[in-house]
Amino acid sequence: MATVGYLIGENTPTIVYGNDIPTIANNQLAEMPGWLMLPFFLAINFTEAWRTVNGWVEPSPENLFKLREGYYPGGIGFDPLGFRPTDPKEFATVATKELNNGRLAMLAVAGMCAQELATGQPLFH
C-alpha cells in the first residue's frame, strides 16, 4: 500500500496546489496546512491508544513492557473481510509472508524516496 500510495500521491492533484505545480511525494505532508493535519494526527493517536489499551498490561513495577495474554503485536481486532486464519500454524505462515512483503515494500519506498531526494524531481514526470 505504501509503494502504490507513494506513486499515486505523486501523480494526482495535491491538496495545496491542485494540478498546477507538480510536487514530489517527499514534500507533500510538509506542504499541507496545519489545520488539515489534525484529522491525520487524531486518527494516528486514536489507533495507538486503542492498541495500547488492548495490547499491554497496565504498567506497574512488576508489569513493565508486558503484553496481555493472547495479544499478538499489531492485532487490534480489525479484520472486516475475515482474512485472518484461525489455525495458529497457518496464521504464523501468513504473518511471515506479510512481514516479508512489508520489508520489500519498505525497501522500494526507501529507493523512491532516495531518488527524489537526490534528483529533486518526481519519479515519473
Helix (H) or strand (E) holding 39: helix 34-55
Say what the pLDDT of residue 34 is: 84
Task: Please tell me the pTM assigned to this model.
Answer: 0.65
Half-sphere exposure of residue 105, counting CA atoms within 13 Å on the CB side? 13
Say what the pLDDT of residue 33 is: 82
Identify the segments of the chain with pLDDT beneath 70: 14-22, 125
- C-alpha cell read off for 71: 495479544
Q: What is the DSSP track for 63-122? A: -TT-BPTT--TT--S--TT--S-SSHHHHHHHHHHHHHHHHHHHHHHHHHHHHHHHH-S-
What letters, b where the CB count within 10 A reaches 16 and e where it falls short, cover 7-42?
beebeeebeeeeeeeebbbbebeeeeeeeeeeeeee
Yes or no: say if 2 and 105 are a contact pair by the CB < 8 Å rule.
yes
Say what the pLDDT of residue 16 is: 66
Q: For 74, phi and psi rounded to 5 degrees?
A: 90, -10
Say what the pLDDT of residue 63 is: 83
Say what the pLDDT of residue 18 is: 66
Say what the pLDDT of residue 118 is: 92
Say what the pLDDT of residue 114 is: 93
Yes or no: say if 112 and 87 are a contact pair by the CB < 8 Å rule.
no
> Using the 8-state DSSP alphabet, how is residue 56 labeled?
B
